Structure 1
Amino acid sequence: MRHFDLSPLYRQTVGFDRLFNLLDQAGGVDSASTYPPYNIERTGENAYRVTLAVAGFARDELTIETKENALSIKGSKEQSQPSAGREMLHQGIAARAFERRFQLADHVVVTGASLVNGLLHVDLVREIPEAQKPRRIEIGGSAAPQVVESKAA
């Protein structure tokens, strides 16, 4: 008996809600990478927020790009040389470069980003074009049959 856990596929998509693109996921997105940790939350009916824990990174060391329904967040930290007379005994704070990619659904756009207390918040909104929104169609025709009274001749 085989059991397939598809939950890693859901973590890499934003805006699909239950649909995801298996070919893109299998084609090169490394779902085994866990750095930096992140959350994806729904903040409204068509609004989402991706939050990454990027403690130690400054604004100018982070890059956010969107291209062809993909959101890419990169962080690169300059390696500082130890000062003379200082020796690092333990280095537990990660200062490594990272790149995290998220597949976006159609019509999902980035509306803003902020860096607060070591958390990078990227706000997303699904903007459905007016032509693709559902429309209510009125049903035409006569409302009720008309009764015609006739007089006996």
Structure 2
Amino acid sequence: MNRIDFSPYRRTMVGFDRLFDMIENQGRANAGDKYPPFNIERRGQDDYRITLAIAGFKPADIDITAQANLLVVKGNKPEETSDGEFLHVGIAQRGFERRFELADYVRVDSADLADGLLVIDLVREVPEAMKPKKIAIGGNTLTVVDNGSAEDSAAA
């Protein structure tokens, strides 16, 4: 297993411990199980999509939980009885749990199950207070300028 040493960065970057821990733990957690396969795609500046291949699961068999910075997708398939005897079982019938670490301000927008694919759309919504703003300097006061429009609030 390839291991990245983050100690030089930990010495000079303050407040990034959570990020380094996530990267190190993610490599260990997802090293073994590759089921179900999934794609993660960026569809726009602040839009993302996770697609999981979960053929044979019904919407009632899937549990999607979003909490702070974590998306958990679980699938539990009930035991099915068959009249015949299986000579080969190649279609996975087991349950699964997939965890996705989410960045700050990323929320689940929608989830859909069609044609054996679970599609989860995510949106990043940064609060107005956290968005960058330009500060105009004019006279004795500072004016916060949003979207590049300048306002003059200096006393005449």
Query: Which band: TM-score by shorter chain?
Result: 0.7 to 0.9
The equivalent of 2:134 in structure 1 is 136
Give the counterpart letter for 2:30 in structure 1: S
The structure in which a higher percent of residues are helix is 2
Find the counterpart in structure 2 of residue 151 from structure 1.
none
Alignment of 1:39-118 (within 5 A): 39-83=39-83, 86-118=84-116
The two structures, once aligned, show a CA RMSD in angstroms of: 2.4
User: Which amino acid is the alignment partner of residue 30 of structure 1?
Assistant: A
SS at match of 2:135: coil
Aligned counterparts of 2:82 and 2:4: Cα–Cα separation in 1: 45
> Aligned pair in 2 of structure 1 residues 25, 78: CA closer, same or farther (>3 Å)?
farther
TM-score normalised by L of structure 2: 0.73
Matched AA of 1:108: V
Structure 2: stretches of 5+ with no match in the other structure: 6-17, 140-156
Query: In the TM superposition, what is the alpha-carbon distance from 1:93 to its structure 2 partner?
Result: 0.4
Larger radius of gyration: 1
Aligned residue in 1 for 2:11: none
Q: Secondary structure at the match of 1:21?
A: helix
- Aligned position for 1:30: 29
Q: Residue deviations 1:23-75, cap 9 Å, x none?
A: 23544762122100001100110110011000110100001001221000000
| 1:75 alignment partner AA | G
Across the two proteins, how many residue pairs are aligned to each other?
Answer: 126
In 2, distance between residues paired with 1:30 and 1:81? 33
User: Sequence identity, in percent?
Assistant: 48
Query: Is 46-55 or 132-141 further displaced after alignment?
Result: 132-141
- Distance (whole Å) between structure 1 residues aligned to residue 22 and residue 86 of structure 2: 42
CA shift at 1:127, angstroms?
A: 0.5
**How far apart in 1 are the matches of 2:81 and 2:114?**
27
Of the structure 1 ranges 111-120 and 21-30, higher mean CA displacement relative to structure 2 is found in 21-30
TM-score, length-normalised on structure 1?
0.74
Separation (CA, whole Å) in 1 of partners of 2:4 and 2:78? 38
Task: Return the letter of the residue paired with 1:48.
Answer: Y
